[in-house]
Amino acid sequence: MKKIVLTLALAFVATVGFSQTEEELKGQLGAAKDSIADIQGRADAIQGEIDALPGWKKGAFGTIGANLSSFNNWYGQGTPDLSSGSIGVTVNAFANLNQEKFFWRNSANVNLSWLKFDDKNDETDEDGFKQGTDVFNISSLYGRKLNEKWAISGLAEYRTTILNNFNDPGYLDLGVGATWTPIADLVVVIHPLNYNFVFSNNDAVFESSLGAKIVADYTKKFGAVNFKTNLSMFQSYKSGNLSNLTWINSFGYTLWNGIGLGFDFGLRSNKQEALNYAITGPDLDTDATFDTVDNKLQTYFLVGLNYAF
């Protein structure tokens, strides 16, 4: 009986000791997390001061996504001899100059992809890669500072495709107005005087016009995370049919030696492009007009490996 009582007592003491040790460890873990958060907060504050210093700031990061496959005599599917694949590349780059009285911000976004679906038993089927996503944007913003937050600015922005139908259409925005920089990584451009030059072989659909330009760009690095979002809008004074909007987002998480995971997605609304596709696309709706065309939201996304320069 004494042995049983002694055994139970030892088990109770061990349990209490373990519980106390676990609680102590959890308390130490919480304190460590608080310390890490404090250190990260101080590091972010110092990085913000570094970013605000005069001089050039340059950087780039991108995503590569690839999926290749080949089947031979795989009878369980409709095309037993099949070669397919997709390759996508996204690059975001910037070069920004910040001085006491002015700034000059330059950025580029390129998103290209190729697709392949080759039925080896179909001689008429194309065996090479076809062009998929095709996005090319560059911009240059110059501002003369009025104070720490506001500047008188001029913007040049060019958007087109480069793999197929280069500069058809192509869009060149030239405008002046004001730029607001509430924090080091956020830039908001408000240009009430902007001319949207549109280049295209189809003059019946695409038309240049005067309007207002609004751009919001946020580029930030949080430790191992690279993030960029850019919203570019043009509101035509002549007609809402000539307005357009593009929103591009890029996210990269570095895991090892600059290599990590990346995710990119973009949205676009452009009624001129929708009407041009309706008239010249596979449906050939030659009677389509701005009033009848279905201006669907254009989207794309890419997931793959990411590399930060």
pLDDT band at 281 (very low <50, low <70, confident <90, very high): confident
Which has more confidence, 119 or 39?
119
Instruction: Tell how strand 170-183 and strand 102-119 pair up.
Output: unpaired
pLDDT band at 13 (very low <50, low <70, confident <90, very high): very low
pLDDT band at 221 (very low <50, low <70, confident <90, very high): confident
pLDDT over 60 at 1, yes or no: no
State pLDDT tens for residues 59-113: 888 888 887 788 887 877 778 888 888 888 889 899 999 999 999 999 999 989 8
| Averaged pLDDT of the chain | 85
How high is the pLDDT of residue 51? 61
Cβ-Cβ contacts under 8 Å for 42 (sequence gap 6 or more): none
| Three-class secondary structure of residue 253 per DSSP | strand
Q: What percent of the chain lies above the pLDDT cut of 70?
A: 85
**How many angstroms separate the CA atoms of 198 and 169, rounded?**
7
DSSP summary character for residue 239: -
How high is the pLDDT of residue 131? 82
Q: Measure Cα distances from 58 to 9, 83, 117, 163, 268 in Å.
A: 67, 40, 39, 27, 27
pLDDT (mean) for 137-160: 96
How high is the pLDDT of residue 149? 95
User: Taking the model in full, what pTM does it have?
Assistant: 0.76
Q: What percent of the chain lies above the pLDDT cut of 90?
A: 43
pLDDT (mean) for 19-44: 67
Half-sphere exposure at residue 292, Cβ-oriented, CA atoms within 13 angstroms: 8
pLDDT (mean) for 225-229: 90
DSSP summary character for residue 185: T
